[in-house]
């Protein structure tokens, strides 16, 4: 149970960092968690699990993956408008 809560917290922080880096933040805490978790998975698949880890997520690849995810998602949303 505590690991699950830790994963959600770390995912939210990673998503918030990605939103701040891309200047596309402000979608809310739920989007930050989703972007952080999916971005973490994406980043670790693309770049591996190097660097420090928190709650089973390699921090640097996770942030890079979340930044990629936020860029792609914001691009798709802008094309749909």
Q: Which residues contact 28 (CB under 8 A, 6 or more apart)?
A: none
pLDDT at residue number 26: 64
pLDDT tens digits along 65-74: 999 999 898 8
Give the chain's mean pLDDT: 89
pLDDT tens digits along 37-60: 999 999 999 999 999 999 889 999
Residue 53 has phi, psi (to 5 degrees) of: -125, 145
pLDDT at residue number 60: 95
pLDDT tens digits along 1-25: 778 999 999 999 999 999 889 887 6
Q: Residue 35 CA to chain centroid, in angstroms?
A: 4
pTM: 0.88
d(CA 30, CA 77): 17
């Amino acid at each position: 149970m505590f690991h699950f809560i830790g994963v959600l917290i770390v995912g939210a922080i990673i998503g918030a960092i990605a939103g701040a880096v891309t200047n596309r933040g402000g979608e809310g805490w739920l989007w930050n968690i989703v972007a952080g978790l999916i971005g973490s998975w994406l980043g670790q698949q693309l770049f591996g699990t190097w660097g420090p880890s928190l709650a089973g997520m390699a921090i640097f690849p996770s942030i890079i993956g979340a930044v990629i995810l936020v860029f792609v998602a914001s691009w798709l949303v802008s094309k749909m408008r």
